[in-house]
Amino acid sequence: MSGSLLPSSSYMSSSEKDKAAEKAEKAEKEKAEKEQKEKEKAEKAEKEKAEKAEKEKAEKDKKKAKEKEKTFNDLAPEYQWNPSLDPDHIFDGERELIKQLKKDLPSLENESDKFVLVFLLARRHDYKDSLDLLKKFIKLQTDYGFTPSYPPSFSHHPNLIPLSKSLEIPMMLAIGERDKYDRMLRYFFMGQDNPDSRDRKTTYCLMFWETYFLVNVEPLSVWRNGISIVVDFKGFGWKNIDMSSKGRAVNRDVQGTFPFRFRSFYCVNGGSVVGALVQAAKLVVPKKIMSRVNWIDQTLLKESIPSKSLLKRYDGGESDLYFDNWIVKVREIEESLFQKGIWKLKETNGGTENGNGLSDSVTTTTSTTSSSSSSVSNSPSEPEPRTPRGGSGNDDESHDHDEEDSEDDE
């Protein structure tokens, strides 16, 4: 007997034939469905591949466009100052953001547009981040009982009058000085930072006062560029590192509280301890921040900072920063402002007071020179700051001037 053991169709009953046909039809249908699914799967994969390629291309194009539009100070192209504008020019888009911030934070009602804008500049016009920064600034200011006075005279401020003796302050601003990028310049002498003698309230009050003072005496054209800081590690050691809960609290309070946008760190006089700290810092500090840290010698420091703005200890022409000579310069600037009538004390029967009734303080005045530059000259006798509350920029006359500048800019 040969051939298939299965019965041929001639021996199958009609019901068996129907079942066989149904089975064959089902198999054919399943095959077609499988082929369709595979086809759809292939089409989906091809579509996803095309979408991914398109997305990557769009991101690449966006990155190229961003790099092409990348500005010197990392602010948006529409917020770039140029010499044809007033140094304290405020762009229309910035005024809209300022208006919204004042609406969301009623405590800013009496502050100048310029004061609010420096917080926007510190966060590159990101609204939410700027709002958070302002909230932290206001809260810490309230927590430590700092009373803003207008204009912000160091010599008449109720929180600062007790600071008549010489202080050992490790971080100080070189008022009116610039690096080669036209950024404000600060020095941090790490070896002088003694955690045991650090007074938190004094430190914060100085930083709050400095914020208001700089808003008055530095133009927005400079604020837009940010701040460079020379970090000098001479004499620095483990004794200068505060790992206590108090030290951590200070770092936590200071970070993200003040509107200072540090753009470059010029680090000098590092040692083995510093090297170990740098390696540890790379593990926790964002790459973006670390990329701004420049370890340089004194020769390269001179290339980054003009000689006239570099301290004498680095063979520059500027007097070394000690509290005694620093406060003399501050008071010379203030005296010049009072003599010119740009800053004024409010006269009362009992002497002088500000709007809060604080004796020996200052109050808000509106300067008739509100359209002049707020820049500080390298010579203390020649500053031309503007003095509405917290600085210039929120009176109608100034706004009209800015609108004209905006048209010229367009």
pTM: 0.67
What is the domain range of residue 270? Answer: 84-409
Which H helix or E strand runs over 134? helix 127-143
Q: What is the pLDDT of residues 150-185, one digit of tens each?
A: 888 887 777 776 664 545 667 777 888 899 999 999
Residues linked to residue 232 through DSSP beta bridges, in sequence order:
189, 268
397 neighbors 370 (Cβ within 8 angstroms): yes
Cα dist from 264 to 126, 186, 200, 219, 292, whole Å: 21, 10, 26, 20, 5
Beta strands in 140-287 (DSSP E): 171-178, 184-189, 227-232, 262-268
Question: Whose CA is closest to 334, among 124, 153, 188?
Answer: 153
Q: How far is the C-alpha of 5 from the C-alpha of 68, rounded, in Å?
A: 79
Instruction: Tell me, yes or no, whether 98 lies in a domain.
Output: yes
385 compared with 197, residue with greater pLDDT: 197
Number of domains in the chain: 1
What's the confidence (pLDDT) of residue 146?
A: 85
The answer for residues whose C-beta is within 8 angstroms of residue 277's C-beta and 6 or more apart is 241
Q: What percent of the chain has pLDDT over 70?
A: 69
Instruction: Tell me, yes or no, whether 24 lies in a domain.
Output: no
Q: Which pair of tokens denotes residue 91?
A: 């762009």
Instruction: Tell me, yes or no, whether 218 lies in a domain.
Output: yes
pLDDT category at 149 given cuts 50, 70, 90 is confident
pLDDT at residue 407 is higher than 60: no
What's the confidence (pLDDT) of residue 182?
A: 93
Buried b / exposed e over 358-381, threshold 16 CB at 10 Å, is bebbbbbbebeebbbbbbbebebe
91 compared with 241, residue with greater pLDDT: 91
Q: What percent of the chain has pLDDT over 90?
A: 23
Instruction: Tell me, yes or no, whether 64 lies in a domain.
Output: no
Q: Which pair of tokens denotes residue 56?
A: 């990557």
Instruction: Tell me, yes or no, whether 221 lies in a domain.
Output: yes
What's the confidence (pLDDT) of residue 320?
A: 76
- Reduce the DSSP state of residue 265 to 3 states and report it: strand
153 neighbors 103 (Cβ within 8 angstroms): no
pLDDT, average across residues 269-281: 68
pLDDT category at 390 given cuts 50, 70, 90 is very low
The answer for residues whose C-beta is within 8 angstroms of residue 294's C-beta and 6 or more apart is 264, 265, 266, 267, 300, 304
pLDDT at residue 211 is higher than 70: yes
What's the confidence (pLDDT) of residue 396?
A: 38
What's the confidence (pLDDT) of residue 115?
A: 96
CATH of residue 391's domain is 3.40.525.10
Quote the mean pLDDT of the chain: 75
What's the confidence (pLDDT) of residue 86?
A: 96
24-28, 249-253, 365-369: which has the minimum mean pLDDT? 365-369
Instruction: Tell me, yes or no, whether 56 lies in a domain.
Output: no
Degrees (nearest 5) of the Cα angle 118, 121, 126? 125
Instruction: Tell me, yes or no, whether 10 lies in a domain.
Output: no
Q: What is the pLDDT of residues 59-109, one digit of tens each?
A: 887 776 665 667 889 999 999 999 999 999 999 999 999 999 999 999 998
pLDDT category at 5 given cuts 50, 70, 90 is low
pLDDT at residue 9 is higher than 60: no
- Reduce the DSSP state of residue 263 to 3 states and report it: strand
What's the confidence (pLDDT) of residue 247?
A: 67
pLDDT at residue 388 is higher than 50: no
